[in-house]
Structure 1
Amino acid sequence: MSKKALIIIDIQNDYFENGAIELVNPIEASLKARAVLDSFREKNLPIVHIQHLSADPVNMPIFVPGTFGSEIHENVKPLEGEQVIQKYYPNSFRETALLDYLKENEITELVITGMMTHMCIDATTRAAFDFGFTCTVIGDACASRDLEIDGKTVKAEDAHNAFLSALTFFYAKVENADAFLSA
């Protein structure tokens, strides 16, 4: 029998308006993540909040430990007893206790939400699949930003959709929050 956990990745203040690295539509994504979070809380299912911290605040002045920007956003604030795991890399498994926590709690299925679709969501989902987890990414509970390559801008919506479509090809089922919650 599968056992499911919710993973909420990096929904932190620096990604919101006036933050150090503002994303496109972070409020909307955080509210969708909140709806999924509320469902997991109601069912008393495991919840893991991932919090990215800068390992090098001089060269990476976002998520600086102890700052407002590094705090988990109020829309998905952890409750007492909910697991919070801090990380320093895009992949939430790298040099963290996440894998041990999931194994100890016999989790086999992950529901993934958070920031940034093209970076931490992608890296964590691929790693989770490679560790043997069945993954569902709640696409509208994730957010991205405009990216640049060779002087060209890739709009946030296009980056978001490209990364989700790549994940759904092999690594994860991608659903929107309403469909997931009504299933």
Structure 2
Amino acid sequence: MLSTLSLTFTEALWFFPLAFPICVWVALSDLRQMRIPNVAVLALTGVFVVTGLFVLPLDAYLWRLAALAIVLVAGFIITSLGLIGAGDAKFAAAMAPFIVPADYLLFLALFSLVLIGTYAMHQGARRVPAVRRATPHWTSWEQGKLFPMGVALGGALAIYLAMGLSTGL
């Protein structure tokens, strides 16, 4: 059974408005070019590094930075096996500190649902002539089996942080 959300309203209030535009940028970049810019990864990391100092207790802040390092190492291993792209691995690492450790299972379930939904929408949209005409230069339409994972990664983080905002209502 999944527990209730541990992300606090205060954390979400600070992180969401800064992280959301980066999530949108990553999703669009991955759709257009099938790549996540390093500067977007650095921007998201910078948001946490700076904002987290003011929002989190020091011990929680340091543990969440450790999560970034752990996910980065795991991502490099998974990338070296050819299972995901390097940009996806780096962006997942940059996302990691935003997730409260008590919410890991909840976030993985959320990510799974977002991944299924975005994959289905992407596959459907690529078959609609009007969509293809409106976005003629998007590389992701032509990639066959490859999927722009930045859409799912950014979407899952944005939804997770938005869920945190809902706890303050």
Taking structure 2 as the reference length, what is the TM-score of the superposition? 0.29
Q: Looking at secondary structure, tell me which structure has more helix per residue.
A: 2
Q: Looking at secondary structure, tell me which structure has more strand per residue.
A: 1
Taking structure 1 as the reference length, what is the TM-score of the superposition? 0.28
**Structure with the greater relative contact order (CA < 8 A, sep ≥ 6): 1 or 2?**
2
- Which structure: larger Rg? 2
